Amino acid sequence: MYQPAAPHLRLLRLLRDQGPVSRAELGDRLELSRPRLLAEVERLVAAEMIVEAGMAASRGGRRSTLVELHPRLRFAAVDLGATSINVEVTNGRLEPLAAYQEAADIRSGPRAILLRVNELLAKARTDGVYDRLDAVGIGVPGPVSFRDGVPVSPPIMPGWDRYPVRELLTQEYGCPAVVDNDVNIMAIGERHGGVAHSVDDFLFVKIGTGVGCGIHLNGGVFRGVDGCAGDIGHIQVESHGPACSCGNTGCLEALFGGAALARDALAAARSGESPALAARLEALGGAASGGATLTARDVAIGAAEGDITCIRLIRDGGRRVGSVLATLVSFANPSMIVIGGGLAQLGHVLLAEIRSVVYRRSLPLATGNLPVVLSELGSRAGVTGATVLASDALFEQAS
Ligand SMILES: [Zn+2]
């Protein structure tokens, strides 16, 4: 059941999202009586969450004191992908003060990956970005028990099952930590500062190494009972399709996604079906050694050059994603679909195909005004959402 957030939580979120606000305006916006507001402000100043910062311009009558988040507040955000680590440290308004992005293999296990995360955050501290962190948010590429703060049976993350990620981060940094699925944090990020700004009901589809969907309904992410809501990569789209990492066959992500596209690109290069991909493989020295690999990026370049096979690979993928999305649109009736993840770089060929299938296959009422658009935040969607979750975790504790 919907319950309005507590006044202190609304107050802190307002300052986070809008910057300094006068006491008078805070009272109006939060619909709090003057004594009640003053008590909240006093309490949050004492807790070093906010500061009073000079006088606002007069609204007629007495001038009102400006209130803002404490300038010392620092949040850390971590977005772990199958093949990447993104880390940001932000101030209270979630503006990045330091950002690191590097390649990593999630299969190297939680110790190695979290050690690297700690090293990157230590670098930010050495560089004077923070003295202490107030909260940490982290996204991982698999199902998560949000309540327990642990990954749960993640298919592509050997060694991470029920690994105490939240507990270890809380111990390491002495502050609240939040663990969520990578697609959920991207959806939250896109709503905070991207194309879905202030949109309450939308789907965020991540097409990266795998495929997943963040379900943002009624103003919040829907995670499901076990944290695997939106795991659309494992919906079966072909009964006799290729084997999938999850153990089933014919899953969406066994047919399309970074891993599947790399596989199909390599096959098309070796058979000579695609001149562009064959040339690319040759340039990498792969035809002789057999060890080189192609990626989605090679397919994107080939398609831009007009290679028929590359265009077909992207269209086939878009059609498969689109048919799953058409089903989801009929089911959830969202007001927007946002496409993100590494394969969003396939751009307009992919987007056009997804749109055409979604519009053709869904009910006219549900698609009458349904934008299907690319993520605005791109590779920053995840870290942005992780800082939103981290700040909420701190603010909730301030009661
Ligand atoms: Zn599967």
- Residue at token pair 């107050």: 11
- 231 CA to centre of ligand 1 in angstroms: 9
User: Where are the domain boundaries for CATH 1.10.10.10 in the chain?
Assistant: 7-69
* Three-state DSSP class for residue 182: helix
- 243 CA to centre of ligand 1 in angstroms: 8
- pLDDT confidence of residue 166: 98
Q: What would the two tokens of residue 168 be?
A: 């270890």
337 beta partners: 203, 372
Selected residue with higher pLDDT from 258 and 366: 258
Cβ atoms of residues 205 and 196 within 8 Å? no
In three-state form (DSSP H/G/I as H, E/B as E, the rest C), the secondary structure along 43-79 is: HHHHCCCEEEEEECCCCCCCCCEEEEECCCCCEEEEE
Looking from the CA of 348 toward its CB, the CA atoms found within 13 Å total 1
Q: What is the pLDDT of residues 346-381, one digit of tens each?
A: 888 999 999 999 999 887 777 778 999 999 999 999
Give the mean pLDDT of 332-348.
90
- 357 CA to centre of ligand 1 in angstroms: 22
Q: Which amino acid is at 104?
A: A
Selected residue with higher pLDDT from 5 and 99: 99
Give the mean pLDDT of 91-114.
97
Q: What would the two tokens of residue 249 be?
A: 């066959």
Could you tell me the end-to-end alpha-carbon distance of the chain, in angstroms, rounded to an integer? 21
CA 126 to each of CA 129, 177, 197, 335: distance values in angstroms, whole numbers, following the listed order: 8, 21, 34, 44
**Mean per-residue pLDDT over the chain, rounded:** 92
- pLDDT confidence of residue 362: 82
Tell me the pTM: 0.92
Q: How far apart are CA 82 and CA 383, in angstroms?
A: 15
- 263 CA to centre of ligand 1 in angstroms: 16
- pLDDT confidence of residue 153: 87
Please give the angle made by the CA atoms of 363, 367 and 372, to the nearest 5 degrees.
Answer: 135
Cβ atoms of residues 385 and 221 within 8 Å? no
Q: How far apart are CA 382 and CA 30, in angstroms?
A: 29
Q: How far apart are CA 167 and CA 232, in angstroms?
A: 29
- pLDDT confidence of residue 206: 95
- 249 CA to centre of ligand 1 in angstroms: 7
Q: What is the pLDDT of residues 184-218, one digit of tens each?
A: 999 999 999 999 998 999 999 999 888 999 999 99
User: Where are the domain boundaries for CATH 3.30.420.40 in the chain?
Assistant: 75-190+380-397, 197-375
- 237 CA to centre of ligand 1 in angstroms: 10
- 234 CA to centre of ligand 1 in angstroms: 4
pLDDT at residue 282 above 80? yes
- pLDDT confidence of residue 155: 81
Q: How far apart are CA 75 and CA 87, in angstroms?
A: 11
Looking from the CA of 367 toward its CB, the CA atoms found within 13 Å total 19
Q: What would the two tokens of residue 88 be?
A: 């940001």
* Three-state DSSP class for residue 179: strand
- 80 CA to centre of ligand 1 in angstroms: 20
Q: What is the pLDDT of residues 215-251, one digit of tens each?
A: 999 989 999 988 889 999 999 999 999 999 888 999 9
- 281 CA to centre of ligand 1 in angstroms: 28
Confidence of residue 264 (pLDDT cuts 50, 70, 90): very high
| In CATH, 7-69 is 2.170.150.20 | no
**Fold adopted by 197-375:** Nucleotidyltransferase; domain 5 (3.30.420)
pLDDT at residue 2 above 60? no
Share of the chain above pLDDT 90, in %: 79
Q: Which of 2-11, 243-252, 314-323, 345-354 has the lowest mean pLDDT?
A: 2-11
- 236 CA to centre of ligand 1 in angstroms: 8
- 376 CA to centre of ligand 1 in angstroms: 28
Angle, helix 7-18 to helix 381-397, in steps of 10 degrees: 140
pLDDT at residue 96 above 60? yes
pLDDT at residue 1 above 50? no
* Three-state DSSP class for residue 281: helix
Angle, helix 275-283 to helix 258-270, in steps of 10 degrees: 90
Give the mean pLDDT of 319-337.
94
Confidence of residue 290 (pLDDT cuts 50, 70, 90): low
Q: What is the pLDDT of residues 12-62, one digit of tens each?
A: 999 999 999 999 899 999 999 999 999 999 999 999 999 998 877 666 666
68 beta partners: 51
Selected residue with higher pLDDT from 56 and 335: 335
Q: How far apart are CA 133 and CA 75, in angstroms?
A: 6
Q: What CATH superfamily classification does 75-190+380-397 receive?
A: ATPase, nucleotide binding domain (3.30.420.40)
Q: What is the pLDDT of residues 306-315, one digit of tens each?
A: 999 999 999 9
